[in-house]
Structure 1
Amino acid sequence: MDSNRRASSREHAAAPARRVALEVLVETERRGAYTREVLKSSTAYRQLDSRDQAFAQRLALGVTATVGCLDDLLNQFLSKPGKVSPRVRMALRIAIFELLYLATPSEVAVSQGVELVRSQASAAAPLANAVLRRVAEGAAGFLVADDAAPEHRAVVRAARRSGLPVWLVRELMASLDGGCFEALVGSQLEPAPVAFHLHPACDAESLVVDSPSPFPGCVVPAHPGALLRSGLLDTAHAVASDEHAQLVATMVTQEGSCLEIGAGRGTKSFVIFAQARRAGIEGRRHVAVDLFEQKCAQNLERLHAAGFNDVRAFAGDATDLSSVLEPLDQGGAPALFDVVLLDAPCSGTGTMRRHPEIPWRLNRSDCQRDLPALQLSLLVAASARVAPGGSLLYATCSVLAAENEGVVDAFLASEAGSGFQLVPVTEAPLFQLEAYQGARELAAGAMTARGMLRTSPARSAADGHFCARLVRLS
């Protein structure tokens, strides 16, 4: 009898991938961490076979990306939502994610959800069974927003279909044309493509066979596993970087000195140096600025490992470049640069597929007020470092107009911006070279009527990025 009971328990236990996903999500929430980082550090995750790893990752990232929508539906069927323990709620979220967004048969999602809850609190299993069965019955109606007022139904439907907050969907609708908006929300829960930029000396031909190369150095493999396993990223022979992010970095590359603000760990820095070497540009001077010392150190370590040595990095608040760049300023005169890139901190709404935490950690005031104010302050500070005739590039990975065109227009209307002129991104120096016609055509296809670059997942599989190019007249 006992052996039969144990066999039955094993038969109906929650699947290993679901249990690992639950532990990862609980730990992520406890630490306020990022789901991908917790997955990478999870011993239990590494012990799964490749198929279960893929499923555990799909569940963990998917629940993170849609958590608010999952709770909206769950709370409809709980008499006391606040009384549910965090672990039980997370187990229920996993089952509801499967019911709403995966093709898991409802009987499997419900039964596995009940077992997942049972593994956390056996007394809660009957509640889980009742709630999940009601969720399964109401899932289709929830997705099409049957419960929303008619005048709001289209927005609520789009929010639930994509797993995004309603307020954010309204912002996206106001910033994107209809086709771009539909494509973005339609692809929100799909995996983002993986692209790489190769070192000019890197011979990776066997790893990138039949991979599209939109411009020199950029490869977008249909199956990136071979390149990821090759060790090229560990030896600074390649970096993982979205195709459109590489396009922005290529747009920055030119002769003379460069100030890169918001350099982070240096992915764009690597691309700029690699493109300069390909184009035969000698004697560049590159200064990288980031708020964090650790990122500056990581940037320098990778660039030096790649053989890119003419670079200095400074940590500090870029709204006060006088303090950050004091070692470069001589006799009180600020050091000026031929090209300045401000890779501004932003909402990251163009990269939400890669960073599932973004939608539910943002709020409306971030996007409408706080970030644009910071971005404008940074742009004004950056503009003071542009040499006469030099270029100022303002870039974000946001698709929201308030952070993009809105900031550029506010800058041009300011005293600091009065000496600058907006010019088409297709006039970037490297784009004039024959070898970079593919990059120029890619930029032209995503250029607005005013000459600014505005990409989104709708235009290609790559991420949403924005870049405006301004030239200092005197």
Structure 2
Amino acid sequence: MKPASRQAGPHRSSRPSRPETKDVAGLAARKTAVRLLAAVIDAKTPLDALTDGEHGHPQFMELDPRDRALVRAILVTALRYRMTIEKLIARRLDRPLPPNAHALAHVLHVGAAQILFLDIPDSAAVDLAVTHAKSDPRTSRFANLVNAVLRGIARTKERQLASMLANTRDAPGWFVERLQAAYGAKADAILAAHRVEPPVDFTVKSEPQQWAERLGGIVLPTGSVRVGRLAAPVRELPGFTEGAWWVQDTAASFPARLLGPVKGLRVADLCAAPGGKTAQLAYAGAEVTAIDISGSRLKRLSENLSRLGLSAEIVEADLRKYEPPALFDAVLLDAPCSSTGTVRRHPDVPWTKSPADIEKLAALQRSLLDRAMTFVRPGGLVVFSNCSLDPSEGEELIADFLAEKDSTTLDPIVADEMPGLAEFVTPLGTLRTTPAGLPAADPRMAGLDGFFAARLRRR
């Protein structure tokens, strides 16, 4: 590591008097960003929970809408490029930060994220970080360090950033290792996709080309409409009020399609909320029973169906205790998982989950699949899916399940079912997507969530 000037050393302290900061423009947003980054990294709290518009962190809720948007942009960026930022900070230090200097590290990360990746003047990012450091007893003696490190990053970013990005994997070591074990050389393409802000996909009821033109997007080979950057909030877009479409990553639309024609069939959508797959099945003519353990999430599902002019029977229940009044013709189980296939949208996932979490979730999925198979009539289909990239929640789970269950067979997915999307059908007849799929000249229009799906038939 190249030594920096002495004033950038973590143990060189100055104790400036703490200024009045209450009315400093932009400071509240930066303090909130640091507080929430600490909650994600140190307490493993999901970012969506912290920044929820109705039930978010109190400090976040006190901000006006513009500052909330800024805080979320800072956090998503700081998490998306966390290892790159970490290395560039380390270059400015003559020795590592103290192990317990978490607050200081978060101040530096929030400042560096703005300097390196956001359209914010470097001077503003530095000055606000220094003011924040001075105002906090935990960091006040490091205010000069914050100033030196961030000014150094701003001064050298044009020379150093591109090289650092090219030589850094922006994910924790455990996550990189599991991707490499599962996907080999493709792991780096997946990690590269995680750095890119994802597009927004819409499942439309009809006339996808017309809606692509109205929304300013394109029609994907999957039939979804993709928009790189929204012209307005979702609720203000054409077609929202009349229920012409719903937001759904194109990969998330695949599992329901794997049930084939469902018109007139009784279909259970398990772990159904927030309801994208329920809407697909209902629009295709199925008699859908949507089951979820969360009453609040089911309320959102009900609201979504109402807007779309669709209907389903809604049941709040724990699947491990639920007993259907009659067996279903087909069942869709989109099981709760580690969500490692959604890192493009949720860059906190690798930092809030662990291998132990994946193991625990895989066991839950297996128990739910055991139950799901008892809900379907003999000869009926069950599609098991989740948005995890980890084989222990997908390929390995299904292989073990089939090896133990004589009453269940794999109903292989064939390429003809996925026109133009044969790359996602595995040799075993399951479905596997990754964020490195659906390449495009513009990276902002490429990719899709990582999903696994298998179609099973009860004997």
Contact persistence 1:446–1:453 (CA under 8 A): yes
Q: Which residue of 2 aligns with 1:261?
A: 270
Cα distance, 1:137–1:301 mapped onto 2, change above 3 Å = closer
Contact persistence 2:83–2:168 (CA under 8 A): no
Which of 426, 429, 441 is the aligned partner of 1:451?
429
Q: Which residue of 2 aligns with 1:190?
A: 196
Contact persistence 1:162–1:189 (CA under 8 A): no
Q: Which residue of 2 aligns with 1:349?
A: 340
Confirm or deny that 1:63 pairs with 2:78: yes
Contact persistence 2:211–2:225 (CA under 8 A): no
Q: What's the % identity of the aligned pairs?
A: 26
Residue type matched to 1:470 in 2?
A: L
1:416-455 aligned at under 5 Å gives the runs 418-426=407-415, 431=417, 440-455=418-433
Cα distance, 1:141–1:306 mapped onto 2, change above 3 Å = closer
1:136-215 aligned at under 5 Å gives the runs 161-178=168-185, 180-200=186-206, 204=211, 207-208=214-215, 211-215=218-222
Which of 33, 52, 65 is the aligned partner of 1:46?
65
Contact persistence 2:30–2:129 (CA under 8 A): no
Q: Deviation at 1:220? A: 0.9
Residue type matched to 1:308 in 2?
A: L
Unaligned 5+ runs, structure 1: 1-8, 146-156, 330-334, 432-439
SS in 2 for 1:195: strand
Q: How many residues are matched? A: 411
Q: Deviation at 1:64? A: 3.4
Q: Deviation at 1:230? A: 1.9
SS in 1 for 2:429: coil
Cα distance in structure 2, aligned partners of 1:360 and 1:205 = 35
| TM-score between the two structures when normalised by the length of structure 2 | 0.76
Which of 93, 118, 124 is the aligned partner of 2:142?
124
| TM-score between the two structures when normalised by the length of structure 1 | 0.74
Contact persistence 1:456–1:463 (CA under 8 A): yes
1:331-410 aligned at under 5 Å gives the runs 335-367=326-358, 369-410=359-400
Residue type matched to 1:174 in 2?
A: A
Q: Deviations over 1:425-468 (max 9, x none)?
A: 557xxx4xxxxxxxx21442211111111111111221111111
SS in 2 for 1:252: coil
Q: Deviation at 1:366? A: 1.9
Cα distance, 1:22–1:357 mapped onto 2, change above 3 Å = same
Confirm or deny that 1:312 pairs with 2:313: yes
1:203-352 aligned at under 5 Å gives the runs 204=211, 207-208=214-215, 211-216=218-223, 218-226=224-232, 228=234, 229-230=236-237, 232-233=239-240, 236-255=243-262, 256-274=265-283, 276=284, 281=285, 284-309=286-311, 311-318=312-319, 320=320, 323-325=321-323, 328-329=324-325, 335-352=326-343
Unaligned 5+ runs, structure 2: 1-18, 54-59, 439-446
Cα distance in structure 1, aligned partners of 2:377 and 2:449 = 31
SS in 2 for 1:402: helix
Cα distance, 1:222–1:136 mapped onto 2, change above 3 Å = closer
Q: Deviation at 1:211? A: 2.1
Cα distance in structure 2, aligned partners of 1:105 and 1:300 = 44
Q: Deviations over 1:304-339 (max 9, x none)?
A: 342222x21222322x2xx323xx42xxxxx22221
Residue type matched to 2:78 in 1?
A: V
Contact persistence 1:247–1:443 (CA under 8 A): no
Cα distance in structure 1, aligned partners of 2:401 and 2:387 = 19
Q: Deviations over 1:349-382 (max 9, x none)?
A: 1101111221111111222x21221111111111
More helix by percentage: 1
Q: Which residue of 1 aligns with 2:452?
A: 466
Cα distance in structure 2, aligned partners of 1:201 and 1:99 = 43
